[in-house]
Structure 1
């Protein structure tokens, strides 16, 4: 009988072995579901697919280990009046060119163009006498040797709209086969070396080793090349040209722009057709006022004209009211704005000069047109000065070299520059993609990325081979495709989205979901382990 009103505490009956093993079987079944069903399903549904990429090849291209571009410039020498002495002259000229070379990748190779034969096409003989081959589109320049009896010799004349260099010489300057030093050969070599001077500098500048640039580069030329590079647009397969007419009044209200573009702008666009495509649109805006950030024009009694201040030229465009959208069209937009001032403020020039046009780097060009008479429509003839200015500005904005004086030679130089820059750009993009692939194992890599990488590598190999063969137009097309595919692979949407999704976010998502389920399972398992250890010790 208990004392103090306290009752003896009763212990629970001992657990049977059946209930013990039943409880343990239930806990084990939960863990089995988690281990053999939950985890595999979670692993499968959350697994990140990563297509295999040729990382070694991508890195090799980025490091410049696969392709070292060379630029064989084939120059055909036409000497119909020197059938016997031409080979010796060409050989001597080639040796002098090799001695003058300061950029080994840029190779001027002379070939001899024989007169056309009745039963066969014209042929060329390589200067070193290695063989013959038919003339084809790999010939970049034709050198015509023309004998003359009067005037200073030797002298040269470069055709402005043909890839032709005329060399005038006197018959007495033809070197004999036994002579080792020829003033005529030296003159021709120096002319050709100087003709491609700016191209060599710009191509060598694209290489990673800045020391490979020409040591003879003058400070003036270096400043000019830097300025040209800063004002030019980045290369694009397609550019959109916008021609705009702005006037502060209602006159002129129209312009014959289609006829002017067709006659004065289309020829230069056709010259660039092998490099890029162009789309064009035009617009007219009446009552277009100056930008409020600049001072109003002032009348100059000495110049008898209205002037705007030089420091206000940069803010001349009224970006708030003038419809100059930079996002029109597929590619970059190049703006050409023609401003016709009020008749009461005409003529209008920049203060201190008679300039009425200027170029805005990587944007476009602007011109103030002071017409002879104010009419409702600007005729094609009145637009001639504007078209001439705009064509020159377009050449600068597209990066066309200023030398030599021959337009076809400058176009071919631009083709080689763009082909090389796109080849290096695509290689660098592939290298960056390889680094992202290795350093971020959590981002997905879909099959289209691998396909784009394979296409880019294939076109890179082809572009390098075409550069070595001197087929620069085809090399540009392949390099352009390679760069486009590399950019497409690098900026894949599914990859870009995962780059900014760190592991901490995954923990924040999984912990509230798995915590309430995991805690009872873990605690039950620990309790059974503890009771099992105690039972073993009790024995």
Structure 2
């Protein structure tokens, strides 16, 4: 090689750049660690000891204790058997005491053999001869009085003015003291059974259509009887302690413009209202409306026209006042009539018709230019209104008025007893099926009051006292079931609660939970280090 050439040495590789160690934070002082732990602990103590109790007390749904088992027993018919003891007095003045007592025993045996409805217990008692007023005083709610009189043949007839059954018998019909049966006793038993047959059918219908499963054996009703009873019960008004009666006179012109309605009500309606006063109270108002146009203008009204005759859009019909149901009695002064036949040429007509659960309309034909309607003209409309009022109240159709009202008392007692028991059962099942529903103290008080009066009503069935307790029980049960503060909680799903609480618990709960987790990790780490140091010292 040439001497002038120089040899180049390879360049050295650049030295690697040293990575500095990350700067660690200064170690925490033990006081700072304890302070942080105390802060986290204080937050959690506030949440657990103060926040959660306040949240629990302010958001917990109050549920008063209800006697659910007792309510279900009432609904299932286990707490009460709706049985009506009917006291029947036998007046046999022409018989000797021994003969009369023996005849009463035979009649009682015959009734027990014929009775196919366990809801009625007909209990016979012999009326004393000395003073019959004592019997009425001791038994103010006597169902029926049977008056036995000697005659030529065996006959029976109901007194049209009192709750009495008159029976005549021949002298040879009296059973001997040693006889175990008697045609006369069987005849009287059949008449008593026939007298109360309509009432038995209505109560059997109520029992068969109620959800209350009672061991009272109802009568076997034919489909025709069921249809007729269903129509009758649908037509009658729901029971109320007070009804408001509105008497209205509507005229299609300027006359008539005056009427003696107050006198007519006092003369023809007041006696009936006074008789009904132990069962219902009534308030009365009247009104007169001129130039009232009916919904149907034809002179002869047919069955299909009756539904649209009432012009509810223009006629000022009084609504319910003070919570009492209103019964409307409307008199329309015009020349319309109601055709009872199918053809327009039918000569058979009527002047009134009953509207179920509403009232009555009466078509009053007056001479032209009649400006005043006297109480004598209103006699027939008022008598019609009285009969229709009894129908709307659900009064039985057979028998005298006192006997029908006595039966109405028992029918209404059974209806109210069944309805209140069914309501209590529905409330109990609702409470069990919805654990989150609110049950205020007023509901528990209402249930307790209802059950108390149900017990009183069950022990006094058949009289006015039992009807009064059954009415109070039904009112309290309805008020408890439809409590406003309880019904408002029926449709409050759990998803809605989550949607309300999640936006609040998220921002508050995440820092608390993460801080607690970090603190627990630090505590666990320190514990492991202390355990390691302890093992090393032990090994040395």
- The answer to whether the 8 A contact 1:240-1:329 is kept is no
Q: Secondary structure at the match of 2:460?
A: helix
Of 304, 326, 331, which aligns to 1:333? 326
- Shift in Å at residue 248 of structure 1? 1.4
Runs of 5+ unmatched residues, structure 2? 1-13, 533-540
Structure 1 equivalent of residue 356 of structure 2: 361
User: 1:297-317: CA deviations, max 9, x gaps?
Assistant: 1xxxxxxxx313331211111
Of 67, 74, 82, which aligns to 2:87? 74
Instruction: Quickly say closer, same or farther: Cα 1:218–1:484, change in 2 above 3 A.
Output: same
Structure 1 equivalent of residue 423 of structure 2: 429
Of 243, 251, 254, which aligns to 1:247? 251
Instruction: Quickly say closer, same or farther: Cα 1:219–1:440, change in 2 above 3 A.
Output: closer
Runs of 5+ unmatched residues, structure 1? 125-133, 298-305
- The answer to whether the 8 A contact 2:237-2:392 is kept is yes
Instruction: Quickly say closer, same or farther: Cα 1:226–1:263, change in 2 above 3 A.
Output: same
For structure 1, which segment, 163-172 or 14-23, has the greater mean C-alpha deviation from structure 2 after superposition? 14-23
Within 5 Å, which residues of 2 pair with 1:380-399?
A: 380-399=375-394
- The answer to whether the 8 A contact 1:326-1:333 is kept is yes
User: 1:48-97: CA deviations, max 9, x gaps?
Assistant: 33332222222222221111122111111111111242222222221111
Q: Distance in 2 between matches of 1:64 and 1:391?
A: 36
Within 5 Å, which residues of 2 pair with 1:75-224?
A: 75-84=88-97, 85-116=99-130, 122=134, 135-149=138-152, 153-207=153-207, 208=212, 212-215=217-220, 217=221, 220-224=224-228
- The answer to whether the 8 A contact 1:251-1:376 is kept is yes
- Shift in Å at residue 260 of structure 1? 0.9
User: 1:383-412: CA deviations, max 9, x gaps?
Assistant: 112112111111111101112x21111111
- The answer to whether the 8 A contact 1:336-1:366 is kept is yes
Q: Does 1:415 align with 2:378?
A: no
Provide TM-score, normalisation by structure 2. 0.87
Q: Secondary structure at the match of 1:144?
A: strand
Q: Secondary structure at the match of 1:282?
A: strand
- The answer to whether the 8 A contact 1:239-1:330 is kept is no
User: 1:258-284: CA deviations, max 9, x gaps?
Assistant: 111111111221222121211111111
Structure 2 equivalent of residue 128 of structure 1: none
- Shift in Å at residue 8 of structure 1? 6.7
Q: Distance in 2 between matches of 1:460 and 1:203?
A: 18
Q: Distance in 1 between matches of 2:478 and 2:92?
A: 48
How many residues in Structure 1 have an aligned counterpart in Structure 2?
A: 505
Of 62, 69, 75, which aligns to 1:62? 75
Structure 1 equivalent of residue 434 of structure 2: 440
- The answer to whether the 8 A contact 1:423-1:479 is kept is yes
Q: Secondary structure at the match of 1:77?
A: strand
Q: Distance in 2 between matches of 1:269 and 1:62?
A: 34
Of 235, 238, 247, which aligns to 1:231? 235
- The answer to whether the 8 A contact 1:456-1:481 is kept is yes
Q: Secondary structure at the match of 2:474?
A: helix
User: 1:354-392: CA deviations, max 9, x gaps?
Assistant: 122111111111111112454222111111121121111
Structure 1 equivalent of residue 270 of structure 2: 266
Instruction: Quickly say closer, same or farther: Cα 1:44–1:135, change in 2 above 3 A.
Output: closer
Structure exhibiting the larger radius of gyration computed from Cα positions = 2
Q: Distance in 2 between matches of 1:87 and 1:537?
A: 104
- The answer to whether the 8 A contact 2:247-2:328 is kept is yes
Provide TM-score, normalisation by structure 1. 0.87
